Amino acid sequence: MQRWAGTALLAGSAVAYSLAGYFTRLIPLDVMTLLFWRGIFGGIMITILVIVQFRAGAWDRTRAIGWQGLGVAAMGVLSSYLYLAAFRHTTVADVAIIYATLPFVTAAIAWVLLREREGWRVMASSVVALGGVAIMTGGAVHAGHLVGDLLAFAMTLSFAITMVLMRRGGRQVSMMPAVAIMCFLTALAAAPFARTGPLDSLPLLHLVLFGTCQLGLGLVFLTLGMRRVGATRAALIGLIDTPLAPLWVWLAFNEVPPLLTLAGGAVVMAAVLWNMAGPAQAAEAAG
């Protein structure tokens, strides 16, 4: 039951994260302003949930996150900015393919830090999903983008560390305060470059939805799901945001994705669903 609850939460997190492209297209503001307001509203939402859940003990729970919780917050902020930097120095295709290695990078880190070893089904599904992402991007790993590709790998590595630390720390204490701190730190880092003054009512409403529905719910579901599912499997489930992102933009803005995007997305979804439909198989501790 814990496994299925965790799987459902992680799938919900991936769906929420996949709305990033939709909101980015919907709101006519620069990237730093989007990051600032998304972080503010996401952080407020999660902070309210922490206070409602723990009441008078909320501050003690925040202090209890320790170095692992602070690591989650720091790595989460770092991965957000590396993600943006990668897009400035390489193609979307390169970033997508490199990010699709997340389950393998997470598996290596989880084995080192947690001694978690996933079964063959998770790893086989990850290989198939990686192939699906390669199809989506037309196999386009272009030459001449070394800096951008290194940034994309650094982003993937930092997010994998975030997930493993969330898994490790979440076994003892709630990581919800850590992700709230992550949101506020992201907003703080973007503030010097963002438009922080008054905004029109409609963009402000969209920013509230961006921060709460996309970032806030995504982080809440991820945090709760990571307590129930191994880090590598969680990373694999998270890949379903790759095919879902162009789907929402297609439905909302009539941007018809290329045939390869649809075909590759179907492969990714099939790989994740095949893994989810398999028998319960918890991550094993090596040694």
The whole-number pLDDT of residue 143 equals 53
The whole-number pLDDT of residue 41 equals 97
Contacts of 11 (CB under 8 A, 6+ apart): 237, 240, 276
Cα distances (Å, whole numbers) of residue 11 to 80, 192, 240, 269:
20, 34, 8, 11
SS3 91: coil
State the amino acid at position 58 in one-letter form. Answer: A
Residue 237 sits at φ, ψ, to 5 deg, of -60, -35
Q: For tokens 């709101």, what's the residue? A: 27
Which H or E element spans position 264? helix 259-276
Local structure of residue 228 (DSSP, 8 states): T
Give the C-alpha separation, 243 to 245, whole Å: 6
Q: Are 189 and 180 in contact (CB under 8 A)?
A: no
Local structure of residue 192 (DSSP, 8 states): G
Buried b (16+ CB within 10 A) or exposed e, 170-200: beebbbbbbbbbbbbbbbebbeeebeeeebe
Give the C-alpha separation, 136 to 264, whole Å: 4
- pLDDT of the chain along its 287 residues, tens only? 677 888 899 999 999 998 988 898 899 888 889 999 999 999 999 999 999 999 989 999 999 998 889 999 999 899 888 887 887 777 666 777 778 888 888 888 888 888 777 777 888 888 888 888 878 766 455 556 678 778 888 988 999 899 899 888 887 889 999 999 999 999 999 999 998 888 888 999 999 999 999 999 999 999 999 888 888 888 889 888 888 888 888 888 887 777 877 888 888 889 888 877 766 555 544 43
Q: Is the dihedral of CA 71, 77, 83, 88 positive or negative?
A: negative
**What is the torsion angle, in degrees rounded to the nearest 10, for the CA atoms of residue 225, residue 226, residue 228 and residue 230?**
130
Query: What does pTM read for this prediction?
Result: 0.84
